Amino acid sequence: MTPRTTLAWTLAALAIGASAPALANPTEAMNKAGCLACHSVDKKIVGPSYKDVAAKYKGQDVVAKLMQKVRTGGKDVFGPVPMPPTGPDKITDADLKAAIEFILKS
């Protein structure tokens, strides 16, 4: 390999490593983001349980839709209490995606 090719591969590897942060455990990420203040695995608190969310969207490709709903907030899907928006300062996109996939599998 030429030095130029080596440099290109090195920069590509660094970019990939920088853009893919290590994912936290989905439950830890949800706890840190404050999700567990209103949601639980199997019972309604303020918002729906994760099992209710999984049942509602079973068999549907809704990860992107639910990510958007978490980011912008939502209302009138599971009742009258609105869900406030949760920004990337609370949970990263990668952790949010992992959390939603975890919820949908429950």
Output the CA angle 66-34-49, nearest 5 degrees. Answer: 55
Q: Once rounded to an integer, what is the mean pLDDT over residues 83-94?
A: 96
Give the per-residue pLDDT at 20.
44
Q: Has residue 34 been placed in a domain? A: yes
pLDDT in tens, 1-49: 554 443 344 444 444 444 445 456 999 999 999 999 999 999 999 999 9
Q: Enter the tokens of residue 44.
A: 């309604």
What range does the domain containing 65 cover? 23-104
Residue 76 exposed, middle or buried by CB count within 10 Å (0-12, 13-18, 19+):
exposed
Predicted TM-score (pTM) of the model is 0.76
Is pLDDT of 74 > 50? Answer: yes
pLDDT greater at residue 104 or residue 14: 104
Q: Has residue 13 been placed in a domain? A: no
Query: What are the start-end ranges of the H helices in 20-92?
Result: 26-33, 50-56, 63-72
Q: Has residue 60 been placed in a domain? A: yes
Q: Enter the tokens of residue 11.
A: 């920069």
Q: What is the CATH number of the domain that holds 76?
A: 1.10.760.10
Q: Has residue 5 been placed in a domain? A: no
Q: Has residue 77 been placed in a domain? A: yes
Q: Has residue 12 been placed in a domain? A: no
Tell me how far apart the alpha carbons of residues 55 and 103 are, in angstroms, rounded to a whole number: 10
Number of domains observed in the structure of the chain? 1
Q: Has residue 1 been placed in a domain? A: no
Give the per-residue pLDDT at 23.
57
Q: Has residue 7 been placed in a domain? A: no
